[in-house]
C-alpha cells in the first residue's frame, strides 16, 4: 500500500481511533461505546497491520457472527486488496472447527467428524433417556442439553461432572439425579459416532491445546496477532482458549463495550472484559467515546441510565450530533392499546417525515409481546417483518394450540390432525401415521374417519386404543362448543391435552419463551371474549374465523419496505432512525427474574442501554397500566428504568397523558418528577379505554372524584362514573374479585365494568 493511500484512511479517523489503529504490538483493549465506529477501527487496524508488513496468515480475528466476519473481510479487501483473503477470520466456532479438522486425530476423532446441531443432540439424548428407562417428563432433552451445555461452557467434562459433588447434589435436589450418567453416555455416543456438538467445538479445542502442548505451540507461533470482537460476550471457555493462544507473543487486541454485555444466559461473563487488565498489566487501553449514530439527547439519556451500574469500565460517551427531540414516553391502559398507540405514532411520523418503513423498529423484552403489536400494525396496513424470531402466529407452540382449536371445530381439518395427533407424545408414531395415510388413500376418506374407526383396521395393532382415546378427547371438546366461550374452551383444551404443562415444565430459556407465547395466545382469546365493543359471538368458531384474517401468512411481495420487530437481544449491532421500546414495565423490563440480584438487574439495565442506543433520531418508550397475563388483567407499574433517565431528556406524550396525576404518584426513584405512574382514570372490563361514539366526545374527568366501595352494589342502584357520568345498575355478574356490573349511563349508553377497576360512587335518588 502506498503512503498516500495509508494517509487517506488514517485521515478519516478521530484521535482515539487512529491511536488504536496504529498500536499493533502488545496487549490492547479498545473500549468501543455504542455507535463509536468500532467496525471501522477493526477494519483499518488489520489493514494497517498488513500494510506494515505483517503476514495476514499470522493474524487471527475472532467474531461472534458470520455476518460481522464477512463485512470486515470485505472492508479490509477494499483497503488492501486480495491479501485480506489470507486472514484467519470468522466466528469462534468456525475457526476452531477448522483447527479441529486438522488436528482431530490427536483426540481420536476422524478429520471428517460430524457436527451435531441442536436437533441431533436432542434426538440422541431422547434415545439415551429411553435406554436408561428414565422418566422423560423429568428428563426433558431440552433441559438436559441445556445443563450439559452450561457445563461445557465452563470447561467441565463429563468425568469432572461426575466427581463434582456440588453439581450432582443440585441435580438430586432438582429431581434429576442421573444427569451425570446421561452426560457420560452422551459424550461416549458422540465420540463413537465421530461427532461433536456445537459446544464441543470449544471444549475440544481447549482439550487439544491442554493435552497436546506441541499443537498449542504451533498455533501460538502461527497466530502472532490475535483480535477478538465483542469481547464482553465471551464465555469462560472462549476466554481460556484465547489466553492460551496469545500467551507467547501477547499481541492480543480485544474490542468490546462492557455496557453492552447482555448474554449471560448463554454463558457470557462480563468479568472477562472488566478483569482484562489483571491478565496483562502492561495493557494499553483506548476508549472510543464519540458516538456517531445518535442525537445528543439519546446519547445523554443512555449515559444517565448506564451510570446507575456499579460494575463497569469508566468512560464518557458523547456526540457532536444535533440535539434532537426529547425521548417520548407513551402511557397506555392495556397492552393492546399500547400496540395501537405505537402503530398510530409510526403512521403519523411516516407521513410527517416522509420516512420509509425500514427506518422504524419496535423492540421488546420478550417475543410474546409481538402479538398486540402485529395486530395493531396490520389494522393500519403497515407492513412489518419479525427478526430474530418467527411471526407470533407462525411459532410452533402457537400453531400447535391453534391446531387443536381448529380440529375441535372441524374434525376433517387434516393438517391440524397431523400436527397434534402425537403432540404431546401419546405413542402414535410414524409407522402408525403411514398406515393411516395408506388406509385413507385406499378408502377415499379423511384421516379423521380412519382415526374414529381404528378398530376395523387389523394392522394398526396396539395403536388402536391410543387412536380411539385421541378421537374421544377431540369429540369431548366439540361437545363444549355451544356451552363454553372461546377462552374457556381454549384453556380447557390447553390444560387437558397437557400442552400447557408440557411447555411449563421446560425451564430452559427457549422453553420459558414457548410457554409465554402460548399464554399470550390465550390472553388474546380472553380479550376477544371480553371485547364489549365487538358485536361478534364469543364462541370458538367465530374466534378462529376472526383470527384467520389476522394471521393469514405474510406474502413477501419482494420488497424489504417493512417495519422491523424484534427483541432487544436480536437488535444488538443494528441501528434505526426511529426506535420504539415497548413494555417498559416492572417485572417485564426489568424482567421479574432479574429482581433477585444486583448482577442480574445490571444486565437488564445494560439491555435497556443497548435498546436506547439503537436509535439515531428519535426514541419512544411505552408502557401499559394493565396487561393480560394468564387470562387475567393484571395491574402494572412503569419500569424503574424510565425514572432513571434524567428528566430533562423526557417528554410525556400529550395524547396519552391527559389525566391529572396524584402528586403522591408522580415521583419515582431518584427524586425526579415523572407522570408515568398515574393510574388510568377509566377502564372497561378488560382495561381498554371505553370509546364514546364519534358524536359524543369523552368529557374530562370529574375534578376531586372520590370513588365509593362498591362491594355491596346491587341492581337498581344509581351511580356516577368519573368519565361516563350518571347511570343505573342493570345487572351484576361474576364472583367476588371479578364481579362485573352492567350500567346504563344517561349519556353513553350501556357499559359493562369490572368493579375492582371501575371508579364509581353512589348517587342518592
Query: What single string gives the DSSP state of each residue in 392-430?
Result: GGGSHHHHHHHHHHHHHH-TT-HHHHHHHTTSS--S--H
Is residue 260 annotated as a catalytic residue, yes or no? yes
Is residue 65 annotated as a catalytic residue, yes or no? no
Nearest-5° Cα angle at 752, 751 to 753? 115
Residues 60 and 225 sit within 8 Å (Cβ to Cβ) = yes
Among candidates 734, 735, 755, which has minimal Cα distance to 743? Answer: 755
Say which of 614, 617, 677, 688 is annotated catalytic: 614
C-alpha cell at 98: 477448522
Is residue 287 annotated as a catalytic residue, yes or no? no
Dihedral over alpha carbons 728, 734, 739, 744 (to 10 degrees): -20
- Collapsing DSSP states into helix, strand and coil, what is residue 331? strand
Within its chain, how far is the Cα of 127 from the centroid?
A: 30
Say which of 199, 229, 338, 604 is annotated catalytic: 229
Distances (CA, A) of 48 to 84, 253, 722: 11, 14, 70
Is residue 555 annotated as a catalytic residue, yes or no? no
Q: What is d(CA 547, CA 542) in angstroms, rounded to the nearest whole number?
A: 9
Is residue 537 annotated as a catalytic residue, yes or no? no
Backbone angles phi, psi at 705, to 5 degrees: -80, 120
Long-range contacts of 594-601 (CB under 8 A, 24+ apart): 598/310, 599/311, 600/264
How many residues belong to the chain?
765
Q: Name residue 196's beta-bridge partners.
A: 115
Among candidates 558, 609, 720, 670, which has minimal Cα distance to 294? Answer: 609
Is residue 614 annotated as a catalytic residue, yes or no? yes
Within its chain, how far is the Cα of 636 from the centroid?
A: 20
Q: What is d(CA 587, CA 580) in angstroms, rounded to the nearest whole number?
A: 19
**Helical H segments across 154-275, by residue range:** 158-162, 165-173, 179-192, 200-211, 213-222, 236-245, 271-274
Residue labelled with grid coordinates 388510568: 680
Long-range contacts of 191-195 (CB under 8 A, 24+ apart): 191/108, 191/109, 193/114, 194/109, 194/110, 194/112, 194/113, 194/114, 195/113, 195/114, 195/115, 195/116, 195/120
Within its chain, how far is the Cα of 246 from the centroid?
A: 35
C-alpha cell at 632: 387475567
Backbone angles phi, psi at 719, to 5 degrees: -135, 170
178 — alpha (psi -120 to 50), left (phi > 0) or beta? Answer: alpha
Nearest-5° Cα angle at 238, 237 to 241? 90
Say which of 17, 18, 38, 374 is annotated catalytic: 38
C-alpha cell at 77: 479487501
Peptide bond into 424 cis (omega under 30): yes
- Collapsing DSSP states into helix, strand and coil, what is residue 31? strand
Residues 450 and 440 sit within 8 Å (Cβ to Cβ) = yes
Say which of 91, 234, 260, 656 is annotated catalytic: 260
Burial (Cβ within 10 Å: 0-12, 13-18, ≥19) of residue 279: middle
Among candidates 452, 448, 426, which has minimal Cα distance to 437? Answer: 448
Q: What is d(CA 554, CA 678) in angstroms, rounded to the nearest whole number?
A: 38
Q: What is d(CA 443, CA 727) in angstroms, rounded to the nearest whole number?
A: 64
Say which of 103, 178, 200, 230 is annotated catalytic: 230
C-alpha cell at 301: 439519556
Say which of 39, 118, 437, 508 is annotated catalytic: 39
Q: Each residue of 581-591: b (16+ CB within 10 Å) or e?
A: bbbbbbbbbbb
Q: Name residue 252's beta-bridge partners.
A: 226
Active site residues: 38-39, 229-230, 260, 614
Amino acid at each position: 500500500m502506498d503512503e498516500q493511500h495509508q494517509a487517506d484512511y488514517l485521515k478519516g479517523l478521530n484521535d482515539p481511533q487512529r491511536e488504536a489503529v496504529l498500536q499493533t504490538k502488545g496487549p490492547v483493549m479498545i473500549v468501543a461505546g455504542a455507535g463509536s465506529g468500532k467496525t471501522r477501527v477493526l477494519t483499518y487496524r488489520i489493514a494497517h497491520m498488513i500494510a506494515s508488513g505483517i503476514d495476514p496468515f499470522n493474524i487471527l480475528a475472532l467474531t461472534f457472527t458470520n455476518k460481522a466476519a464477512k463485512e470486515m473481510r470485505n472492508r479490509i479487501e477494499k483497503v488492501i486488496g486480495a491479501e485480506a483473503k489470507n486472514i484467519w477470520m470468522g466466528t469462534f466456532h468456525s475457526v476452531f472447527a477448522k483447527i479441529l479438522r486438522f488436528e482431530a486425530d490427536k483426540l481420536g476423532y476422524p478429520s471428517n467428524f460430524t457436527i451435531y446441531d441442536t436437533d441431533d443432540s436432542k434426538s440422541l439424548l431422547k434415545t439415551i433417556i429411553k435406554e436408561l428407562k428414565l422418566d422423560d417428563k423429568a428428563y426433558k432433552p431440552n433441559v438436559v442439553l441445556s445443563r450439559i451445555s452450561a457445563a461445557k461452557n465452563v470447561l467441565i467434562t463429563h468425568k469432572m461432572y461426575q466427581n463434582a459433588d456440588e453439581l450432582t447434589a443440585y441435580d438430586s435436589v432438582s429431581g434429576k439425579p442421573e444427569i451425570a450418567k446421561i452426560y457420560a453416555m452422551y459424550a461416549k455416543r458422540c465420540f463413537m459416532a465421530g461427532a461433536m456438538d456445537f459446544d464441543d467445538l470449544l471444549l475440544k479445542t481447549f482439550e487439544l491445546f491442554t493435552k497436546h502442548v506441541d499443537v498449542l505451540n504451533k498455533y501460538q507461533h502461527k497466530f502472532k496477532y490475535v483480535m477478538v470482537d465483542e469481547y464482553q460476550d465471551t464465555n469462560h471457555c472462549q476466554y481460556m482458549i484465547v489466553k492460551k493462544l496469545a500467551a507467547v507473543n501477547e499481541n492480543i487486541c480485544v474490542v468490546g463495550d462492557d455496557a453492552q454485555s447482555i448474554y449471560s444466559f448463554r454463558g457470557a461473563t462480563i468479568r472477562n472484559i472488566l478483569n482484562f487488565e489483571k491478565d496483562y498489566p502492561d495493557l494499553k487501553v483506548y476508549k472510543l467515546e464519540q458516538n456517531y449514530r445518535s442525537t445528543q439527547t439519546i446519547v445523554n439519556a443512555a449515559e444517565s441510565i448506564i451510570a446507575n451500574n456499579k460494575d463497569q469500565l469508566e468512560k464518557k460517551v458523547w456526540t457532536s450530533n444535533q440535539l434532537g427531540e426529547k425521548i417520548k414516553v407513551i402511557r397506555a391502559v392495556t397492552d393492546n392499546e399500547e400496540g395501537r398507540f405505537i402503530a398510530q405514532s409510526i403512521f403519523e411520523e411516516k407521513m410527517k417525515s416522509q420516512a420509509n418503513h425500514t427506518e422504524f423498529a419496535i423492540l421488546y423484552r420478550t417475543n410474546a409481546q409481538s402479538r398486540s403489536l402485529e395486530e395493531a400494525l396490520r389494522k393500519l396496513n403497515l407492513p412489518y417483518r419479525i427478526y430474530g424470531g418467527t411471526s407470533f402466529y407462525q411459532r410452533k407452540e402457537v400453531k400447535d394450540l391453534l391446531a387443536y382449536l381448529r380440529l375441535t371445530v372441524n374434525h376433517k381439518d387434516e393438517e391440524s390432525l397431523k400436527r397434534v395427533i402425537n403432540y404431546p407424545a401419546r405413542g402414535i408414531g410414524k409407522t402408525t401415521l403411514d398406515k393411516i395415510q395408506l388406509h385413507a388413500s385406499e378408502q377415499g376418506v379423511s384421516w379423521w374417519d380412519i382415526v374414529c374407526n381404528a378398530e376395523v383396521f387389523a394392522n394398526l395393532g396396539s395403536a388402536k386404543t391410543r387412536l380411539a382415546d385421541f378421537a374421544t378427547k377431540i369429540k369431548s371438546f366439540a361437545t363444549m362448543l355451544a356451552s363454553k366461550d372461546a377462552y374457556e374452551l381454549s384453556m380447557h383444551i390447553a390444560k387437558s391435552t397437557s400442552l400447557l404443562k408440557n411447555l411449563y415444565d421446560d425451564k430452559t430459556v427457549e422453553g420459558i419463551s414457548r410457554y409465554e407465547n402460548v399464554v399470550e395466545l390465550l390472553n388474546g382469546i380472553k380479550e376477544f371474549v371480553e371485547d364489549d365493543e365487538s358485536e361478534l359471538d364469543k364462541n370458538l368458531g367465530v374466534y378462529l374465523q376472526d383470527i384467520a384474517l389476522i394471521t393469514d401468512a405474510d406474502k413477501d411481495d419482494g420488497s424489504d419496505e417493512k417495519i422491523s420487530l424484534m427483541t432487544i437481544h436480536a437488535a444488538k449491532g443494528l441501528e434505526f432512525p426511529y426506535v420504539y421500546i415497548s413494555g417498559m414495565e416492572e417485572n417485564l423490563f426489568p424482567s421479574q427474574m432479574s429482581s433477585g440480584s444486583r448482577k442480574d438487574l445490571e444486565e437488564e439495565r445494560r439491555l435497556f442501554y443497548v435498546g436506547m442506543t439503537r436509535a439515531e433520531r428519535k426514541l419512544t418508550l411505552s408502557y401499559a397500566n394493565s396487561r393480560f397475563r394468564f387470562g387475567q388483567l393484571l395491574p402494572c407499574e412503569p419500569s424503574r428504568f424510565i425514572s432513571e433517565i434524567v428528566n430533562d431528556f423526557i417528554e410525556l406524550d400529550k395524547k396519552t397523558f391527559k389525566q391529572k396525576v396524584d402528586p403522591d404518584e408522580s415521583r419515582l426513584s431518584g427524586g425526579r418528577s415523572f407522570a408515568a405512574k398515574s393510574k388510568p382514570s377509566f377502564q372497561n372490563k378488560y382495561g381498554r379505554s371505553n370509546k364514546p361514539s364519534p358524536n359524543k366526545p369523552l368529557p374530562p374527568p370529574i375534578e376531586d372524584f372520590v370513588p365509593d366501595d362498591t362491594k355491596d352494589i346491587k341492581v337498581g342502584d344509581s351511580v356516577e362514573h368519573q368519565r361516563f357520568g350518571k347511570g343505573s345498575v342493570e345487572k351484576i355478574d361474576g364472583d367476588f374479585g371479578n364481579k362485573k356490573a352492567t350500567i346504563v349511563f344517561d349519556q353513553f349508553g350501556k357499559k359493562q365494568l369490572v368493579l375492582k377497576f371501575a371508579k364509581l360512587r353512589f348517587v342518592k335518588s
